[in-house]
Amino acid sequence: MAEPKSKGLSTPPPAETTAGTDTLKKTRRSLMDIDQIKTAIDSLEYPDIVALRDHLEKLVDKKHDEHVRQVRERIKNDVKQAGLSLQDVFGNAVSETTVATKGRKLPILYADPENPAHAWSGRGKTPGWLHKKIEAGARLEDFKVEEQS
């Protein structure tokens, strides 16, 4: 992102203190409160506001993802410390099988008889090779693999 041409939104230099990160954050917040930020934004030119908006949208997405990750981690830890499973707490909204099968190879349910490298477990998005054959008039059942005993 290009540096805004307008002045007033620069971050103050780090405070020379050893009181810790929290004190530093509070000091920075007090140097420019929300009303000052709004006033500074009001003085920006249109291209700078657009650049700021784009930056803020990316920042909001990043902060949201981080917040969700932290909340999930806290919930998992709390549930584990209580000696429960996620399914105990959330019922069918959380599938234990999803956790249990993650990273495991699933059995092949569909395969291309013309090309053994083309195989599909039946989960997730239909692979391109199968999608093309179905569009050409084939049926999904035509590619079903016989059950192996």
Give the pLDDT confidence score for residue 88 in this predicted structure.
85
The C-alpha atoms of residue 133 and residue 114 are separated, in whole angstroms, by 11
The C-alpha atoms of residue 51 and residue 58 are separated, in whole angstroms, by 11
Residue 119 lies in a domain: yes
Give the pLDDT confidence score for residue 4 in this predicted structure.
47
Give the pLDDT confidence score for residue 6 in this predicted structure.
47
The C-alpha atoms of residue 103 and residue 105 are separated, in whole angstroms, by 7
Model confidence pTM above 0.75: no
Residue 1 lies in a domain: no
- Mean pLDDT by groups of 10 residues along the chain of 149 residues: 48 50 65 84 94 92 94 92 88 61 77 88 89 92 79
Residue 63 lies in a domain: no
Neighbour-count burial of 112, counting CB atoms closer than 10 A to its CB (0-12 exposed, 13-18 middle, 19+ buried): middle
The answer to whether 118 and 129 have CB atoms below 8 angstroms apart is: yes
Q: What is the DSSP letter of 140?
A: G
Domain region containing 124: 110-143
Residue 127 lies in a domain: yes
Give the pLDDT confidence score for residue 102 in this predicted structure.
62
Give the pLDDT confidence score for residue 25 in this predicted structure.
67
Residue 43 lies in a domain: no
Residue 122 lies in a domain: yes
Maximum Cα–Cα distance across the chain: 74
Domain count, the chain: 1
Query: Could you tell me the two tokens for 7?
Result: 């002045």
